[in-house]
Structures are given as C-alpha cells and as structure tokens.
C-alpha cells in the first residue's frame, strides 16, 4: 500500500509495518497504526526478513516522506536489521525534518518530542554505543585468552583470507554481492557474513 507520488500536505503521519517472514501477519501492526489515526492509504508494508537488504515498502516510504512528516511504527525494530541501523536511519530522517514515533516500545518514542520520548531515544543511542564497546572488548579478551593458550580463534576460515580481502575491496568500489560472488567464488550467503560485519581475526566460516 502507500500513498501516490503526490504529497498534498505537510505534517502527515505515515505508517510503516514489517514482518520478518511470510508466515507472520501484519494485521497486529496494521490495526495499531489504524487506531493511531493512520489510514491504509498512508501505510507502507514489507513482508520480508530483517536480514534482507531489499525492502521496497520502506524505500517507497522514505522517497515519499517530506519535511514535517512523521513516520509511525509499532516498535522501532521494524525500521532496521539492528539497533545501530535504526539509530542511523532516525538520525538521517531528523536531518531532513522527518520525525519518527513508535507506539508500543516500553517507552514510546517521538523524536519530535522534547520530553521523555526524546530522552528515551537518546538513551537507546547510548546503550547501542555501550553494547558496541562491550562486544569489542569481549571479543578482544577472548582472542587474547585463546592466543595465549595456543588455540585458534573461531572456526577455520572457509575461504582464503586474500579472497575475503579482495571481496571487501570490491564492495568498497561499489560492487554488488552478485558481482563479488562471481569474481571471488565466495557464495553470497558467506559474503553477507564477511562484509556486513567489522573485520576481525578468525572470521566465521560456512
């Protein structure tokens, strides 16, 4: 669903709903958004995995939204594959004057609100940064302990390190996963694992 290309007014509430498998139902999210005053013609939906990059409903919504509009979701996790991606998207939208509001998070968030909604969003950003730091520290400690004991860190690489580095270079140059897979011989499923995460010693294998 979704509105037409015309944008008749500023300050619209635009709904977005997503489920991660085709077996799940959008009805709960759709009903909550309708109850919040958003008609079906202003609802955008995706029925795809959060790990799937292609989300046409969200892409259409982001193309349509204008300064002064607010994107309304059932919970913030509907907007991205992980908290950092959600925070980055909300930040980019804020720079365009587009707000984000959630309906059912433990602390409902409205980034246009100067009160508790704004505070809750800033706390989420802080927690995301703390988790990133703690994860990096835990990984570094585990590597140090394993290396001191003479153990290999992680599972053996399923593909040579030079091929993985070549794949990273191709990605930086704008190559698609299909093109990179064809040039390196690494399956796209493994490429997502290698290229969607920071470089670490002992990357995961197949």
Catalytic residue positions? 20
Closest to 187 measured CA to CA, from 198, 196, 174, 178: 178
Task: Give me the count of residues in the chain.
Answer: 206
**Distance in angstroms (rounded) separating the CA atoms of residues 181 and 188:** 6
Residue that has been written with the tokens 């079906």 in this structure = 40
What is the Cα 66 distance to its own chain's centre?
21
Q: What angle do CA 149, 153, 154 make, to 5 degrees?
A: 140
Distance from C-alpha of 55 to C-alpha of 80, rounded to nearest angstrom: 10
Task: Tell me the two tokens of residue 180.
Answer: 């990179």
- What's the rounded Cα separation, in Å, for the pair 83 and 129? 10
């Amino acid at each position: 669903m979704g509105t037409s290309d015309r944008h008749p007014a500023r300050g619209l509430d635009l709904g977005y709903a997503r489920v991660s498998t085709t077996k799940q139902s959008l009805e709960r999210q759709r009903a909550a958004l309708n109850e919040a005053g958003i008609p079906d013609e202003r609802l955008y939906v995706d029925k795809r995995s959060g790990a799937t990059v292609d989300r046409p409903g969200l892409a259409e919504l982001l193309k349509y939204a204008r300064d002064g509009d607010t994107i309304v979701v059932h919970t913030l996790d509907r907007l991205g594959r992980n908290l950092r991606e959600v925070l980055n998207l909300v930040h980019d939208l804020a720079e365009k004057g587009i707000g984000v509001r959630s309906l059912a998070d433990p602390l409902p968030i409205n980034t246009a609100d100067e009160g508790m909604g704004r505070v809750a969003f800033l706390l989420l950003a802080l927690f995301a940064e703390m988790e990133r730091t703690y994860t990096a520290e835990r990984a570094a400690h585990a590597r140090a302990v394993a290396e001191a004991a003479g153990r290999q860190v992680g599972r053996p690489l399923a593909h040579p390190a030079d091929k993985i580095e070549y794949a990273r270079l191709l990605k930086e140059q704008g190559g698609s996963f299909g093109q990179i897979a064809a040039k390196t011989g690494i399956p796209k499923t493994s490429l997502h694992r290698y290229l969607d995460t920071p470089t670490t010693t002992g990357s995961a294998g197949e």
